[in-house]
Amino acid sequence: MKPDDLFRKAHRMRPPESLRGKVMERINSDEMAEDRHTSLWGRLWTHLSTRHAASWSMAVVTVALVVAIRLAPAPQPEVVKPPDVSTDTDIAEFVDEMLVPVFGVTTNFSDDSLDESENLDTYIADQLSEIFWINGGYDA
């Protein structure tokens, strides 16, 4: 017999009568009543909390860590004050400490070394000009 003929002659069979009782008995049980109508998250939570003790412990530890991190006092940022360079002495110290080791320039700066015609700005401009030419000038 050809498949098409078989399909044509085949008919839907009647399921056994006992099926209804078995299904309804299962869904009426207390366990099913507790399980049903829970959302995906609810079922996931149930799965983790009842079947995986390790996962449950991990969840507790994770929550504890998050709480501990949130409660710990955050370190206050250190306030860096600008250096007080208002005096000539301070500038001289700055030039000695910074320019000499870095650029190898001897400054010999002091208040006494300045002529009356010179002022601090002229002195620094001269020093910087020297550094500029030592390092190649315009050809650098």
Partner 1 sequence: MNPGNVEAQWPVQVQTNTDRMDGIANTIINETITVNRARAGDTAAFEELFDKYKSFVWNVAYRMTCSFEESEDLTQEVFVSAWKALGSFKGRSSFSTWLYRITVNKTLNTLRRRSPAGCKTDERVFGVVDKEIFMRQNPGAGVESCEVEQALSKLLERLDPDRRMAVVLREIEGLSYEQISGAMDVPVGTVKSRIARAREDLARFAAQMEDLK
Closest approach of partner 1 to the CB of residue 56, in Å: 22
With respect to partner 1, which residue has the nearer C-beta, 12 or 81? Answer: 12
Sign of the Cα torsion 21, 22, 27, 30 reads: positive
Closest approach of partner 1 to the CB of residue 55, in Å: 22
Residues that bind partner 1 in the complex, under the rule CB under 8 A: 1-3, 6-7, 9-16, 18-20, 22-24, 26-28, 32-33, 35-40
Closest approach of partner 1 to the CB of residue 45, in Å: 14
CB 85, CB 97: distance < 8 Å = no
Identity of the amino acid at 107: T
Closest approach of partner 1 to the CB of residue 41, in Å: 10
- CA contacts within 13 A on the Cβ side of 35: 9
DSSP line for 8-37: HH--PPPPPTHHHHHHHHHHHSHHHHHHTT
CB 131, CB 99: distance < 8 Å = yes
With respect to partner 1, which residue has the nearer C-beta, 3 or 137? Answer: 3
With respect to partner 1, which residue has the nearer C-beta, 40 or 54? Answer: 40
With respect to partner 1, which residue has the nearer C-beta, 9 or 81? Answer: 9
